[in-house]
Structure 1
Amino acid sequence: MRSCGPSLIKYVLFAFNVLFALSGLGILIAGSVVLADVNEFNHFVEGRVIAPPIVLIVTGLIIFLIASLGCFGAIKESPTLLLTYAVLLAVIFIIELAVGIAASVFKKDLEGMVKNSLQDSIKRSSSEDTMAWDNIQRKLMCCGVDTPADWRTMSANKTLPASCCRPQYVDATVGHCTESPALGRDKYFQEGCVGKLKDRIDKNAVILIGVGIGIAFIQILGIVLACYLATSIRHERAK
């Protein structure tokens, strides 16, 4: 190619795709971190909460492959490969935008969904439910759905589990709070788990929205560069 413009764009596009490939790995890592965090409390959340990070993980892998195609197309100066690359980028852009919008819309119904799930679980009080409650109450330092009193009014045995007790007050011999009334404010967690779990999921949603939409708009630059380079190459070859 004799023209300085297309040659410059070729190298810019190549450099862009190296960075784009790294961003794909970044999306993959972000999705994996969020998925691992959400999976800790999957007993209380629906599949809709787990779906967005899984989509981002898959998208990150696809982005890495597409970036490789973009680098190859730029080096080979192939209009067909470059336009294919641009179309694939546009498809990924739409997917990422849809995930971000879905996560934003889902946040509106999040608290009600989580609260219903927690209430149903505390009413069942099966061995599986008890294990899940022990996990969430110890890790999030909360007790009950809205307050510790929920265990007295909703659970099958009408008693607070040992996981509601603050760690420093646990009696190792009995595995429960030492000399404390059933709802003792000094030794039991007083915050309900619905707010804590919602905050945890909200923080993950912010990560997904930020990473997904942020990188999605960067892809627009890649689409423009690829289309411009493909058009320039065709014009050069038509001379």
Structure 2
Amino acid sequence: MESCEMSLIKYVLFIFNLIFAISGIAIIVAGALVLSDVGNFKHFVENELLAPPVVLIVVGAIIFIVAFLGCFGAIRESYKLLIGFAVCLLIIFIIELTVGIVAAVYKNDFEDALKKVLLKSIEQYSQNDAEKTAWDNAQSKLMCCGVEGPNDWQGQQLPYSCCHLNEELHNELSEYCLGVAKGKYLYQNGCYEQLKMKINDNTKILIGVGIGIAFVEVAGIVLACWLAYTVKKENESK
């Protein structure tokens, strides 16, 4: 009976690890897509924006490698490899849980820091080419203007990236947006809210993927421990 039980668990765990390996690839792809998306705005909050997707890519790579350890342990019916596999899954689970808790705790602090960085950066727009490029890129892609709105540009020339028609008007844009159009073609939303929404949307993707993988990891830990227990019990009965 124990041999039948062990055989069943072994093949279930083997199939599970194939799925687990595929999920590792899926995590890497999800992390890469988010990294590519938020990477356009890394000038403002580089570490905060890039850390979560980078962690996800690393975790996905580790999961892919660990899945093969689980497959090998299941086929070889190795108690030590199965326990090692379960421990690796537990460590990954703890890391994901820790990152999630830290992200939730410091969410408000991050948003405050983001606004401060944007306010400081906008003051340097006309003096610093890097700030100018970053703002023009953010305003064009996020369809926004200023930190909280166009009024943030008072005292400076309105950037062409604040206008809907920036690709057509180029150098005449500032005068057109404010004068002829009287703000009709001027983005009214501030970049702070737009950037915050984009980060939140990407965070939801990471959280969704993380929760899904967490359930898979718990199932893997249970199956690995069950098979390890069965292997040990059968070896002791011989």
Query: Fold conserved (TM > 0.5)?
Result: yes
Match of 1:164 in 2: 162
Q: Which structure: greater helix fraction?
A: 2
Q: Aligned partners of 1:171 and 1:229: how far apart in 2?
A: 68
Match of 1:199 in 2: 197
- 8 Å Cα contact 2:146-2:152 kept in structure 1: yes
- 8 Å Cα contact 2:2-2:230 kept in structure 1: no
Match of 2:60 in 1: 60
Q: Aligned partners of 1:175 and 1:204: how far apart in 2?
A: 36
- 8 Å Cα contact 1:41-1:136 kept in structure 2: yes
Question: How far is 1:233 from its partner?
Answer: 1.0
Count of residues in correspondence between the two structures: 234
Q: Aligned partners of 1:214 and 1:50: how far apart in 2?
A: 21
Taking a change above 3 Å as real, the CA distance of residues 58 and 108 of structure 1, as seen in their structure-2 partners, is same
SS of the residue 1:26 aligns to: helix
- 8 Å Cα contact 1:166-1:188 kept in structure 2: yes
Alignment of 1:109-188 (within 5 A): 109-125=109-125, 126-153=128-155, 158-167=156-165, 170-171=168-169, 174=171, 176=173, 179-181=176-178, 184-188=182-186
SS of the residue 1:159 aligns to: coil
SS of the residue 1:34 aligns to: helix
Match of 1:229 in 2: 227
Question: How far is 1:204 from its partner?
Answer: 0.8
Query: Structure 2: 5+ residue runs without aligned partners?
Result: none
- 8 Å Cα contact 1:146-1:194 kept in structure 2: yes
- 8 Å Cα contact 1:31-1:208 kept in structure 2: yes
Match of 2:23 in 1: 23
Q: TM-score, normalised by structure 1?
A: 0.92
Q: TM-score, normalised by structure 2?
A: 0.92
- 8 Å Cα contact 1:97-1:213 kept in structure 2: no
Question: How far is 1:17 from its partner?
Answer: 0.4
The farther-off stretch of 161-170 and 227-236 is: 161-170
Match of 1:34 in 2: 34
RMSD: 1.9
- 8 Å Cα contact 1:142-1:192 kept in structure 2: yes
List 4+ stretches of structure 1 deviating above 6 A. Answer: none
Q: Deviations over 1:34-72 (max 9, x none)?
A: 111111001111412211111111110110010000000
Question: How far is 1:180 from its partner?
Answer: 4.1
